[in-house]
Every structure is written in structure tokens, then in C-alpha cells.
Structure 1
Amino acid sequence: MNDTFTLGILTLGQSPRTDVEPSLRGILGDDVRFVQRGGLDGLSEESIADLAPVEGEPGIETCVLRGEGEPKGVCVAKRHLLPRLIAAARELETQCDIFFLLCSGEFPALKEAVPRLIEPIAFIRSVVATVARHSHLCVIGPESDMAAAPMQWQPYAARVSTAISSPYDGKERLFEAARRAQASGAEYILLDDMGFTVEQRQLVRNVSGIATLNATSITARILREFL
């Protein structure tokens, strides 16, 4: 292994994810080198728009980068994204010590194609089950994910409710989601999108007064064990 540990970051959208780098760096430290690839790297806004789901087709929200590197949420069809993700993952695999998917969802075909890829969802489920097995969990995430969230998280909590906010919707939308979680009587909150930063987690915690889990922070703390 090289003197500097190299961590690969595979994002669904475009890289580098400068919006979440500080959250990862704050836990992993400065001695880790990040190498990033994305499923939408190299595509123009027009090309990405062509990947949008057709009416009635499920989509997945991800992040593209504006001119100044500012993240913007977009929705693309999973069938278009998957081949590009597999190609990006195979390239990334040759350039790092370990690499992980910057997403809290599951992609069985991606994992089958690139078995060494770490999918954080296994970590996140274990943590949620440990604290919320007998409690009310409110899941906060993008609108495209929230219809399926209760069924996905029901095995790991006694009760599941949801509140809609994407990491890219702005502070006011996240504030509203935190208030909704508080009004629901939730005992725990999960920020179920790897785009949420430690600052956004703290905002939700402060507004709601509820213990708040962040998928990104959970993943980074476990990845630190590999260093």
C-alpha cells in the first residue's frame, strides 16, 4: 500500500463532490487522498436532461455541478445511469485502496459487476436498527425516494414517517422537514441521502431537538476503520 491511503468515491452524478468533501475529511482526516468518479461525468446539461425518466418511470435524484462547482439536484432514469456507473466504478477500482458508493441506496447489478465496491446501505441499516428498532424513525430525503421509504425502513424501526427535503433544496426546505419530523413525534431522524453535510445534520438536530443520524457521517466513521 502507498504511504498515502487512497479512497475512491463513486457518485451517481458528477464529480468531484466538493460539497461533501469537508464532511468526509472532517472524520477521515487529512492523510487520505480522494479519487472521485461519477456516473454523469463529462456530460453537458442538455445530455443529462435527455436521461430524465419518462412519465411513469421511476427516477433517482443525484447531483450535477454548476459553473462554480455548486451542486444542483437532477432526476435521471436508473436504466440510463447504471451502465455509466459500472464503467466509472471499474475505472475507479484500479486507482484506489478501497472505494465506496456515495449513495444510501442499493444497486444489485452494480455490485455484481464490481464486487469490491462498498455499498454503505449495509452500515446505515445496522446503525438505524440498533437505535430505532423499538422507536419512531422519521426519514428525511428527496421527494423521489420518500414514497418507498416507509417500506424500506420498516424492518429497522417500530414506526416510520417521512419528511421531504433534498440536500440541494436550500435551508428553508430542510428547516420545514425538521419541523415536520418534530411534529410527527419521531424519536430519531435519518438524513437518507449522502449529499447531506454535517452542517445540515446539525441544523436538523437544532431545529427538531431530535437525535439525528446522517448517512454520510455513518459511512465515513466506518470507512475510517480501513485506514
Structure 2
Amino acid sequence: MIPKRVGLITIGQSPRVDVVPGMKEILGPDFEILEAGALDGLSLEEVKKFSPKKGDYILCTRMADGTQVVIGKRYILPRMQACIDLLIERGAEALLLLCTGKFPPFRSRRLLLEPQKILDHFLLALQGEKVRFGMMSPLKAQLPQTRKKYKRLKGTFSFFAASPYAAGDELGEAAIALRRKDPHVVVMNCMGYTPAMKKRVMEITGKPTVLANSLVARALAELLS
């Protein structure tokens, strides 16, 4: 059987050795992964020019060496489109954004999956007036835009920041704070969180935990299998 080619677009630099291996385990051997990054070919100094200004939609990602970078969405949209075009040229049969941020429509001749929409509709299936969600995002600066987005859903949301790229123990601290809120479900709202991070959050909170990248990988596998 010829492997199905799937193109993954990261808002940072490729390859994403931190999250793609875990996604490949879910997808299985029938899939060939192609990667491209919106920051590929740029130095850290060049990326700093994309730092968010007041009013920008904030994104958090990483360089190829694992260094965390914070960027404004508007600066990388043309570069993301270029990644889509490149991966289609390389033979990708379907495309997946490696970011749970909100994006405008992209131009694509192939199926393009947006993780945020998959995650949002999954949460819609869980929602109710008395459901308590605990949501984890990378940066405190991102929490206002996340709160605004989830106002439309029923239930109670508690928001906490913990970067998957930080050197300290932000994840453990956020999980302890989440536990005090006693959520029914914890949502790890960034494609940079890994299965190991999910396991740690579950151990601390004792709650069911949704990991964005594995949820999306399962949706992709269902679509193309």
C-alpha cells in the first residue's frame, strides 16, 4: 500500500520533533508525514521582528532548537499560505495546521483541517449549563483572547497559562491551580502539549484531559483511513 501523504504546517519551525512523533503513532504506518514551518529559514533575530504589537492576536511556538518565540498572527499568514502551497507541490493529499489558533480561510486545493474548529466542536458535544471546563493555554497574554472566544459556549470555564516550551514547571503549577477549580474536563489548548504532559496533568488533577494534537490526529486518521 502506498502511504497517504499528509502535510503538517507549523506556525514555528519544522520539523516538530516534539509533537509529530506522537501524532505519527496515532496515524500509523499508512501515512507519510511532510512538514513545513512558517518560520523556516529565519534566525531568532529575524523572528523577533514578528513580535506582537498592541491589539495583535498572540501566538506561541518554537524554533527548531526548541526556543520559545511569541509572534503576532498577522505577520505569518502569508508564510503559512506559502507552506500550504509548498506541501501541495510536494504531493500532500491532505493538510493540517499545527496550531489551535483562529485563522482566516487559506487557499488550498487539498483538504485542510483546522485544529481549533475540531476542538471547539468536540467541546460543544460536552457542554451543558453546569459543565466546568479547565482550559490550559501557553501564555497569560493569550488568556483574554481565549476567554473572549469561549464566551459563546455554555458551562463554566477556568483559564490557566502553562507554556509547553518553558524550562520551568509552569505545567505542574497550572495543573495544581486547575485542580482547585474541580473541573469536569481539562482542555490542553495548544498543539505543543505532548502525551507526557497530558499524563502529568491527569495525575495532578485526577480529571479527564483532552489533548489537542492527539484529538486532531485521530480525526485525520478517521478522515483518510
TM-score (norm 1): 0.90
CA contact (8 A) 1:139 1:163 kept: yes
Summarize the alignment of residues 1-227 of structure 1 with structure 2, pairs less than 5 Å apart: 3-55=2-54, 57-66=56-65, 71-94=66-89, 95-108=91-104, 111-114=105-108, 116-134=111-129, 135-143=131-139, 144-170=141-167, 172-225=169-222, 226-227=224-225
Amino acid aligned to 1:93: I
Structure 2: stretches of 5+ with no match in the other structure? none
Q: What CA distance in whole angstroms lies between the structure 1 residues aligned with 2:32 and 2:153?
A: 34
Q: What CA distance in whole angstroms lies between the structure 2 residues aligned with 1:31 and 1:13?
A: 26
Question: Displacement of 1:160 after TM fit?
Answer: 0.7
Q: Aligned to 1:25, what secondary structure does the other structure show?
A: helix
Amino acid aligned to 2:126: V
Amino acid aligned to 2:116: I
Question: Displacement of 1:59 after TM fit?
Answer: 2.8
Amino acid aligned to 1:177: A
Question: Displacement of 1:41 after TM fit?
Answer: 0.4
CA contact (8 A) 1:132 1:188 kept: no
Question: Displacement of 1:58 after TM fit?
Answer: 4.0
CA contact (8 A) 2:3 2:29 kept: no
CA-based RMSD of the aligned residues comes to: 1.7
Q: What CA distance in whole angstroms lies between the structure 2 residues aligned with 1:126 and 1:179?
A: 27
Residues 181-227 of structure 1: per-residue CA shift (max 9 Å, x gap) = 11112111100000111111111001111111011111011111112
TM-score (norm 2): 0.91
Q: What CA distance in whole angstroms lies between the structure 1 residues aligned with 2:34 and 2:68?
A: 22
Residues 11-31 of structure 1: per-residue CA shift (max 9 Å, x gap) = 001001010022102211133
Taking every aligned residue pair, what percent have the same amino acid on both sides? 28
Structure 1: stretches of 5+ with no match in the other structure? none
Amino acid aligned to 1:199: A
